[in-house]
Structure 1
Amino acid sequence: MIFDIPGVIMEFGTWWGQNLCVFENLRAIYEPFNQNRRVIGFDTYKGYLDLSSKDKQSETIKESGYILPEEYVSYLEELLACHESINVLSNIKKCSIVEGDVRETLPIYFNDNPETIVALAYIDLALYEPCSIVLREIIPHLVRGSVVMF
Protein backbone atom coordinates (compact mmCIF):
# COMPACT_ATOMS: atom_id res chain seq x y z
CA MET A 1 0.00 0.00 0.00
CA ILE A 2 2.82 2.45 0.82
CA PHE A 3 5.77 0.62 -0.76
CA ASP A 4 6.26 3.36 -3.36
CA ILE A 5 5.65 6.20 -0.89
CA PRO A 6 8.68 7.62 0.93
CA GLY A 7 8.41 8.48 4.58
CA VAL A 8 7.65 7.28 8.05
CA ILE A 9 4.80 5.40 9.65
CA MET A 10 3.25 7.30 12.57
CA GLU A 11 0.76 5.98 15.06
CA PHE A 12 -1.11 8.38 17.30
CA GLY A 13 -2.54 6.70 20.40
CA THR A 14 -0.37 3.59 20.74
CA TRP A 15 -1.74 2.41 24.10
CA TRP A 16 -0.14 -1.04 24.66
CA GLY A 17 1.92 -0.77 21.45
CA GLN A 18 0.57 -3.80 19.62
CA ASN A 19 0.13 -1.84 16.38
CA LEU A 20 3.65 -0.42 16.65
CA CYS A 21 4.98 -3.98 16.81
CA VAL A 22 2.81 -5.01 13.85
CA PHE A 23 3.98 -2.00 11.82
CA GLU A 24 7.63 -2.79 12.66
CA ASN A 25 7.24 -6.44 11.73
CA LEU A 26 5.44 -5.64 8.46
CA ARG A 27 8.17 -3.11 7.68
CA ALA A 28 10.80 -5.78 8.33
CA ILE A 29 9.02 -8.35 6.15
CA TYR A 30 8.14 -6.18 3.17
CA GLU A 31 10.89 -3.55 3.25
CA PRO A 32 13.81 -5.11 5.12
CA PHE A 33 16.47 -2.95 3.45
CA ASN A 34 14.58 0.34 3.54
CA GLN A 35 16.71 2.26 6.03
CA ASN A 36 14.49 5.32 5.83
CA ARG A 37 11.16 3.76 6.84
CA ARG A 38 10.75 4.55 10.51
CA VAL A 39 7.89 3.66 12.84
CA ILE A 40 7.06 6.36 15.38
CA GLY A 41 4.45 6.07 18.12
CA PHE A 42 2.89 8.99 20.01
CA ASP A 43 0.99 8.59 23.29
CA THR A 44 0.71 10.08 26.76
CA TYR A 45 0.60 6.61 28.36
CA LYS A 46 -1.32 8.43 31.10
CA GLY A 47 -4.76 8.04 29.58
CA TYR A 48 -6.99 10.88 28.47
CA LEU A 49 -5.77 14.10 30.03
CA ASP A 50 -8.77 16.33 29.53
CA LEU A 51 -12.06 16.08 27.71
CA SER A 52 -13.90 18.91 26.01
CA SER A 53 -17.57 19.45 25.29
CA LYS A 54 -16.92 18.05 21.78
CA ASP A 55 -15.85 14.67 23.20
CA LYS A 56 -18.45 11.97 23.77
CA GLN A 57 -17.94 10.52 27.22
CA SER A 58 -18.50 6.84 27.88
CA GLU A 59 -17.25 4.12 30.21
CA THR A 60 -13.92 4.05 28.35
CA ILE A 61 -13.67 7.65 27.14
CA LYS A 62 -13.23 9.48 30.43
CA GLU A 63 -10.52 11.34 32.31
CA SER A 64 -7.53 8.97 32.74
CA GLY A 65 -9.20 6.28 30.62
CA TYR A 66 -6.60 3.92 29.08
CA ILE A 67 -3.94 4.74 31.66
CA LEU A 68 -0.92 2.40 31.72
CA PRO A 69 1.59 1.54 34.46
CA GLU A 70 4.49 4.04 34.75
CA GLU A 71 7.13 1.50 33.75
CA TYR A 72 5.26 0.39 30.63
CA VAL A 73 6.96 2.85 28.25
CA SER A 74 10.40 1.42 29.01
CA TYR A 75 9.01 -2.10 28.59
CA LEU A 76 7.53 -1.16 25.19
CA GLU A 77 10.86 0.37 24.11
CA GLU A 78 12.60 -2.89 25.08
CA LEU A 79 9.99 -4.91 23.18
CA LEU A 80 10.44 -2.82 20.02
CA ALA A 81 14.24 -3.06 20.36
CA CYS A 82 13.90 -6.85 20.61
CA HIS A 83 11.83 -6.94 17.41
CA GLU A 84 14.38 -4.72 15.65
CA SER A 85 17.34 -6.79 16.88
CA ILE A 86 16.22 -9.89 15.00
CA ASN A 87 15.60 -8.03 11.73
CA VAL A 88 17.90 -7.00 8.89
CA LEU A 89 19.96 -3.85 9.54
CA SER A 90 19.44 -4.23 13.28
CA ASN A 91 22.20 -1.69 13.91
CA ILE A 92 19.88 1.07 12.60
CA LYS A 93 17.13 2.14 15.00
CA LYS A 94 13.87 2.23 13.09
CA CYS A 95 11.26 2.47 15.89
CA SER A 96 10.77 5.22 18.41
CA ILE A 97 8.26 6.37 20.96
CA VAL A 98 7.36 9.99 21.64
CA GLU A 99 5.83 10.18 25.09
CA GLY A 100 3.56 13.06 26.00
CA ASP A 101 0.49 14.96 24.90
CA VAL A 102 0.45 14.91 21.09
CA ARG A 103 -0.88 18.47 21.10
CA GLU A 104 2.56 19.48 22.38
CA THR A 105 4.88 16.71 21.20
CA LEU A 106 3.88 16.55 17.53
CA PRO A 107 4.59 20.24 16.74
CA ILE A 108 7.93 19.86 18.55
CA TYR A 109 8.69 16.67 16.59
CA PHE A 110 8.03 18.36 13.23
CA ASN A 111 9.95 21.46 14.30
CA ASP A 112 12.95 19.25 15.16
CA ASN A 113 12.47 17.07 12.06
CA PRO A 114 11.08 19.38 9.33
CA GLU A 115 12.22 16.99 6.58
CA THR A 116 9.78 14.30 7.77
CA ILE A 117 7.47 12.83 5.15
CA VAL A 118 4.51 10.86 6.48
CA ALA A 119 3.78 7.81 4.35
CA LEU A 120 1.17 6.39 6.73
CA ALA A 121 -0.57 7.98 9.70
CA TYR A 122 -2.69 5.75 11.92
CA ILE A 123 -4.81 7.96 14.17
CA ASP A 124 -6.30 6.08 17.11
CA LEU A 125 -7.38 9.05 19.19
CA ALA A 126 -10.86 9.36 20.61
CA LEU A 127 -10.72 13.03 21.56
CA TYR A 128 -11.57 15.88 19.21
CA GLU A 129 -8.80 18.39 19.93
CA PRO A 130 -5.80 16.02 19.76
CA CYS A 131 -7.20 14.45 16.60
CA SER A 132 -7.73 17.81 14.89
CA ILE A 133 -4.23 18.97 15.86
CA VAL A 134 -2.70 15.78 14.46
CA LEU A 135 -4.53 16.29 11.17
CA ARG A 136 -3.49 19.94 10.98
CA GLU A 137 0.14 19.12 11.77
CA ILE A 138 0.59 16.15 9.41
CA ILE A 139 -1.02 17.70 6.31
CA PRO A 140 2.13 19.64 5.29
CA HIS A 141 4.12 16.39 5.63
CA LEU A 142 1.89 14.24 3.40
CA VAL A 143 2.72 13.47 -0.23
CA ARG A 144 0.65 12.05 -3.07
CA GLY A 145 -0.24 8.50 -2.04
CA SER A 146 0.21 9.01 1.72
CA VAL A 147 -2.36 7.08 3.75
CA VAL A 148 -4.27 8.48 6.72
CA MET A 149 -6.16 5.81 8.68
CA PHE A 150 -8.59 6.08 11.58
Structure 2
Amino acid sequence: MIPADETLRGLLKQHLDDHDLIANLASFGRRMHFMKGFAHYEVFNKIKDLPGDIVECGVYKGSSLLTFARFLETFCPGDRTRKVLGFDHFRGLADRTEKDGLDARVGNTAEGWNPADFRDTLFALVDAFNQDSFVPQRPRVELVDGDVCKTAAQYAAENPGLRISLLHLDMDLYEPTLAALEAFWPRLLTGGVVLLDEYAIREWPGETEAVETFFKGAVPRIEKFAWASAPGGYFIKT
Protein backbone atom coordinates (compact mmCIF):
# COMPACT_ATOMS: atom_id res chain seq x y z
CA MET A 1 0.00 0.00 0.00
CA ILE A 2 1.41 3.40 -0.96
CA PRO A 3 1.61 6.22 1.63
CA ALA A 4 -1.29 8.16 0.08
CA ASP A 5 -3.56 5.14 0.44
CA GLU A 6 -2.52 4.65 4.06
CA THR A 7 -3.18 8.29 4.89
CA LEU A 8 -6.58 8.42 3.20
CA ARG A 9 -7.76 5.15 4.71
CA GLY A 10 -6.66 6.29 8.14
CA LEU A 11 -8.58 9.54 7.80
CA LEU A 12 -11.66 7.72 6.58
CA LYS A 13 -11.63 5.46 9.63
CA GLN A 14 -10.92 8.21 12.14
CA HIS A 15 -12.88 11.25 11.07
CA LEU A 16 -15.44 10.51 8.41
CA ASP A 17 -19.17 10.37 9.00
CA ASP A 18 -21.84 9.72 6.38
CA HIS A 19 -22.45 13.38 5.63
CA ASP A 20 -18.74 14.09 5.14
CA LEU A 21 -18.43 11.29 2.59
CA ILE A 22 -21.46 12.37 0.58
CA ALA A 23 -20.72 16.11 0.63
CA ASN A 24 -16.91 16.09 0.43
CA LEU A 25 -16.04 13.07 -1.68
CA ALA A 26 -13.42 14.97 -3.67
CA SER A 27 -11.42 15.58 -0.50
CA PHE A 28 -10.75 11.87 -0.11
CA GLY A 29 -10.08 10.81 -3.71
CA ARG A 30 -6.68 10.07 -5.19
CA ARG A 31 -5.19 11.90 -8.14
CA MET A 32 -5.16 8.82 -10.39
CA HIS A 33 -8.90 8.33 -10.04
CA PHE A 34 -9.67 11.95 -10.82
CA MET A 35 -7.42 11.83 -13.89
CA LYS A 36 -9.56 9.06 -15.35
CA GLY A 37 -12.69 11.05 -14.55
CA PHE A 38 -11.26 14.07 -16.36
CA ALA A 39 -10.53 11.87 -19.39
CA HIS A 40 -14.12 10.67 -19.36
CA TYR A 41 -15.27 14.28 -19.24
CA GLU A 42 -13.19 15.07 -22.34
CA VAL A 43 -14.79 12.13 -24.15
CA PHE A 44 -18.26 13.18 -23.02
CA ASN A 45 -17.68 16.64 -24.47
CA LYS A 46 -17.17 15.04 -27.87
CA ILE A 47 -20.63 13.45 -27.83
CA LYS A 48 -22.78 15.67 -25.62
CA ASP A 49 -24.44 17.35 -28.62
CA LEU A 50 -25.24 14.05 -30.32
CA PRO A 51 -28.45 12.09 -29.80
CA GLY A 52 -28.24 8.52 -28.59
CA ASP A 53 -27.49 6.63 -25.41
CA ILE A 54 -24.24 5.98 -23.61
CA VAL A 55 -23.56 2.25 -23.41
CA GLU A 56 -21.01 0.85 -20.98
CA CYS A 57 -19.99 -2.80 -21.14
CA GLY A 58 -18.12 -3.77 -18.00
CA VAL A 59 -19.65 -1.84 -15.12
CA TYR A 60 -17.72 -3.31 -12.16
CA LYS A 61 -18.74 -1.12 -9.18
CA GLY A 62 -20.32 1.65 -11.23
CA SER A 63 -17.81 4.48 -10.98
CA SER A 64 -17.60 5.38 -14.67
CA LEU A 65 -21.24 4.44 -15.31
CA LEU A 66 -22.47 6.95 -12.74
CA THR A 67 -19.87 9.50 -13.83
CA PHE A 68 -21.31 9.53 -17.35
CA ALA A 69 -24.82 9.63 -15.90
CA ARG A 70 -23.89 12.69 -13.84
CA PHE A 71 -22.50 14.37 -16.95
CA LEU A 72 -25.84 13.84 -18.71
CA GLU A 73 -27.74 15.13 -15.68
CA THR A 74 -25.50 18.19 -15.47
CA PHE A 75 -25.14 19.19 -19.12
CA CYS A 76 -28.29 17.67 -20.69
CA PRO A 77 -30.81 17.75 -17.83
CA GLY A 78 -33.86 18.47 -19.95
CA ASP A 79 -33.15 15.74 -22.51
CA ARG A 80 -34.74 12.64 -20.97
CA THR A 81 -34.41 10.59 -24.15
CA ARG A 82 -30.75 9.80 -23.47
CA LYS A 83 -29.88 7.07 -21.01
CA VAL A 84 -26.79 5.35 -19.68
CA LEU A 85 -26.99 1.59 -20.16
CA GLY A 86 -24.68 -0.66 -18.16
CA PHE A 87 -24.01 -4.29 -19.12
CA ASP A 88 -22.29 -6.73 -16.75
CA HIS A 89 -22.71 -10.20 -15.23
CA PHE A 90 -20.94 -9.11 -12.03
CA ARG A 91 -18.75 -12.23 -11.93
CA GLY A 92 -15.43 -10.61 -12.77
CA LEU A 93 -13.10 -12.33 -15.22
CA ALA A 94 -14.50 -15.84 -14.87
CA ASP A 95 -14.94 -16.25 -18.65
CA ARG A 96 -11.32 -15.77 -19.66
CA THR A 97 -9.81 -17.56 -22.68
CA GLU A 98 -6.24 -18.10 -23.86
CA LYS A 99 -6.50 -14.88 -25.88
CA ASP A 100 -6.71 -12.92 -22.62
CA GLY A 101 -3.27 -13.79 -21.27
CA LEU A 102 -2.55 -14.22 -17.59
CA ASP A 103 -1.03 -11.66 -15.24
CA ALA A 104 -1.80 -11.92 -11.53
CA ARG A 105 0.02 -8.63 -10.84
CA VAL A 106 -2.89 -6.67 -12.32
CA GLY A 107 -5.67 -9.07 -11.41
CA ASN A 108 -5.81 -10.72 -14.85
CA THR A 109 -6.89 -14.09 -13.44
CA ALA A 110 -10.14 -16.05 -13.26
CA GLU A 111 -10.70 -14.65 -9.76
CA GLY A 112 -9.76 -11.07 -10.59
CA TRP A 113 -11.89 -7.93 -10.43
CA ASN A 114 -15.00 -9.70 -9.16
CA PRO A 115 -17.69 -7.26 -7.92
CA ALA A 116 -20.21 -9.95 -6.93
CA ASP A 117 -20.32 -8.79 -3.30
CA PHE A 118 -21.00 -5.22 -4.50
CA ARG A 119 -23.79 -6.05 -6.95
CA ASP A 120 -26.74 -5.30 -4.67
CA THR A 121 -25.07 -2.11 -3.45
CA LEU A 122 -24.60 -0.95 -7.03
CA PHE A 123 -28.26 -1.52 -7.87
CA ALA A 124 -29.18 0.49 -4.76
CA LEU A 125 -26.81 3.28 -5.82
CA VAL A 126 -28.38 3.39 -9.26
CA ASP A 127 -31.84 3.62 -7.69
CA ALA A 128 -30.64 6.48 -5.48
CA PHE A 129 -29.13 8.25 -8.48
CA ASN A 130 -32.35 7.96 -10.47
CA GLN A 131 -34.36 9.28 -7.51
CA ASP A 132 -32.00 12.26 -7.30
CA SER A 133 -32.18 13.04 -11.02
CA PHE A 134 -33.75 16.09 -12.64
CA VAL A 135 -36.85 14.07 -13.58
CA PRO A 136 -37.06 11.03 -11.29
CA GLN A 137 -40.03 9.68 -13.25
CA ARG A 138 -37.68 9.10 -16.23
CA PRO A 139 -34.77 7.01 -14.91
CA ARG A 140 -31.45 7.97 -16.45
CA VAL A 141 -29.56 4.73 -15.74
CA GLU A 142 -30.46 1.16 -16.69
CA LEU A 143 -28.48 -1.93 -15.67
CA VAL A 144 -28.60 -5.10 -17.78
CA ASP A 145 -27.47 -8.06 -15.69
CA GLY A 146 -26.07 -11.04 -17.60
CA ASP A 147 -23.37 -12.32 -19.93
CA VAL A 148 -22.64 -9.61 -22.50
CA CYS A 149 -21.97 -12.32 -25.09
CA LYS A 150 -25.74 -12.95 -24.92
CA THR A 151 -27.34 -9.79 -23.54
CA ALA A 152 -25.78 -7.30 -25.98
CA ALA A 153 -27.27 -8.87 -29.10
CA GLN A 154 -30.53 -9.60 -27.31
CA TYR A 155 -30.91 -6.01 -26.10
CA ALA A 156 -30.14 -4.63 -29.56
CA ALA A 157 -32.71 -6.94 -31.14
CA GLU A 158 -35.38 -6.02 -28.59
CA ASN A 159 -34.69 -2.29 -28.97
CA PRO A 160 -34.51 -1.54 -32.71
CA GLY A 161 -34.65 2.19 -32.00
CA LEU A 162 -31.47 2.09 -29.92
CA ARG A 163 -28.85 4.54 -31.13
CA ILE A 164 -25.56 5.08 -29.35
CA SER A 165 -23.41 8.18 -28.98
CA LEU A 166 -20.72 6.60 -26.78
CA LEU A 167 -19.75 2.94 -26.48
CA HIS A 168 -17.48 2.36 -23.48
CA LEU A 169 -15.76 -1.04 -23.50
CA ASP A 170 -14.22 -1.98 -20.16
CA MET A 171 -14.52 -5.76 -19.93
CA ASP A 172 -10.81 -6.48 -20.39
CA LEU A 173 -11.50 -9.77 -22.18
CA TYR A 174 -11.60 -10.88 -25.82
CA GLU A 175 -14.96 -12.62 -26.22
CA PRO A 176 -17.30 -10.10 -24.53
CA THR A 177 -15.51 -7.16 -26.17
CA LEU A 178 -15.96 -8.72 -29.60
CA ALA A 179 -19.61 -9.54 -28.85
CA ALA A 180 -20.29 -5.95 -27.76
CA LEU A 181 -18.75 -4.54 -30.93
CA GLU A 182 -20.76 -6.92 -33.10
CA ALA A 183 -24.01 -5.95 -31.37
CA PHE A 184 -23.52 -2.23 -30.86
CA TRP A 185 -21.22 -0.94 -33.62
CA PRO A 186 -24.09 -0.81 -36.15
CA ARG A 187 -26.04 1.34 -33.66
CA LEU A 188 -23.20 3.79 -33.01
CA LEU A 189 -23.85 7.12 -34.69
CA THR A 190 -21.45 8.74 -37.11
CA GLY A 191 -19.42 11.04 -34.88
CA GLY A 192 -19.96 8.74 -31.92
CA VAL A 193 -17.06 7.52 -29.81
CA VAL A 194 -15.77 4.08 -28.88
CA LEU A 195 -13.86 4.33 -25.59
CA LEU A 196 -11.41 1.50 -24.85
CA ASP A 197 -10.20 1.11 -21.30
CA GLU A 198 -7.43 -1.46 -21.82
CA TYR A 199 -6.41 -0.92 -25.44
CA ALA A 200 -2.70 -1.50 -26.12
CA ILE A 201 -2.04 -2.44 -22.50
CA ARG A 202 0.26 -5.47 -22.52
CA GLU A 203 -1.15 -7.06 -19.41
CA TRP A 204 -4.64 -7.10 -20.98
CA PRO A 205 -4.24 -8.40 -24.56
CA GLY A 206 -7.82 -9.61 -25.00
CA GLU A 207 -9.47 -6.23 -25.54
CA THR A 208 -6.90 -5.14 -28.10
CA GLU A 209 -7.14 -8.40 -30.04
CA ALA A 210 -10.94 -8.20 -30.06
CA VAL A 211 -10.85 -4.71 -31.58
CA GLU A 212 -8.35 -5.79 -34.22
CA THR A 213 -10.36 -8.93 -35.00
CA PHE A 214 -13.58 -6.96 -35.40
CA PHE A 215 -12.07 -4.41 -37.76
CA LYS A 216 -10.14 -7.09 -39.69
CA GLY A 217 -6.85 -5.22 -39.75
CA ALA A 218 -8.43 -1.86 -40.64
CA VAL A 219 -8.62 -0.45 -37.11
CA PRO A 220 -9.65 3.23 -37.02
CA ARG A 221 -7.10 5.76 -35.84
CA ILE A 222 -7.02 5.39 -32.06
CA GLU A 223 -5.97 8.29 -29.86
CA LYS A 224 -5.51 8.73 -26.14
CA PHE A 225 -5.00 11.51 -23.64
CA ALA A 226 -1.27 11.97 -23.10
CA TRP A 227 -1.79 13.12 -19.52
CA ALA A 228 -3.74 10.01 -18.42
CA SER A 229 -2.64 6.37 -18.37
CA ALA A 230 -6.27 5.24 -18.58
CA PRO A 231 -8.41 4.90 -20.61
CA GLY A 232 -6.20 3.13 -23.13
CA GLY A 233 -7.65 4.90 -26.16
CA TYR A 234 -10.68 6.10 -28.08
CA PHE A 235 -11.76 6.70 -31.65
CA ILE A 236 -14.56 8.49 -33.45
CA LYS A 237 -16.78 6.71 -35.96
CA THR A 238 -16.62 8.34 -39.38
Q: Under TM normalisation by the shorter chain, which class is it?
A: over 0.9
Relative to total residues, which structure has the larger helix share, 1 or 2? 2
Are residues 1:83 and 2:129 paired?
A: yes
Q: Distance in 2 between matches of 1:64 and 1:10?
A: 25
C-alpha deviation, 1:10, in angstroms? 0.8
Q: Distance in 1 between matches of 2:103 and 2:145?
A: 25
Structure of larger gyration radius = 2
Runs of at least 4 residues off by over 2 Å: none
For normalisation by structure 2, the TM-score amounts to: 0.60
Identity %: 29
Are residues 1:103 and 2:149 paired?
A: yes
Instruction: Tell me whether 41-50 or 31-40 shows the greater mean CA deviation.
Output: 41-50
The residue aligned with 1:115 is 161
The structure with higher relative contact order (CA 8 Å, sep 6+) is 1
Among residues 57, 67, 70, which one is paired with 2:102 in the alignment?
A: 57
Amino acid at match of 2:69: E
Count of residues in Structure 1 that have an aligned counterpart in Structure 2: 149
- Gap runs ≥5 in structure 1: none
The residue aligned with 2:59 is 14
Are residues 1:136 and 2:182 paired?
A: yes
- Gap runs ≥5 in structure 2: 1-45, 197-238
Q: Distance in 1 between matches of 2:96 and 2:116?
A: 21
Q: Distance in 2 between matches of 1:43 and 1:92?
A: 22
Q: Distance in 1 between matches of 2:120 and 2:97?
A: 30
Q: Distance in 2 between matches of 1:19 and 1:30?
A: 16
SS of corresponding position for 2:116: coil
C-alpha deviation, 1:84, in angstroms? 2.2
Q: Distance in 2 between matches of 1:108 and 1:73?
A: 22
For normalisation by structure 1, the TM-score amounts to: 0.93
For the aligned residue pairs, the C-alpha RMSD in angstroms reads 1.3
C-alpha deviation, 1:64, in angstroms? 3.0
Check conservation: 1:47, 1:66, Cα contact below 8 A: yes
Among residues 86, 90, 95, which one is paired with 1:45 in the alignment?
A: 90
Amino acid at match of 2:189: V
Instruction: Tell me whether 107-116 or 83-92 shows the greater mean CA deviation.
Output: 83-92
Amino acid at match of 1:114: P
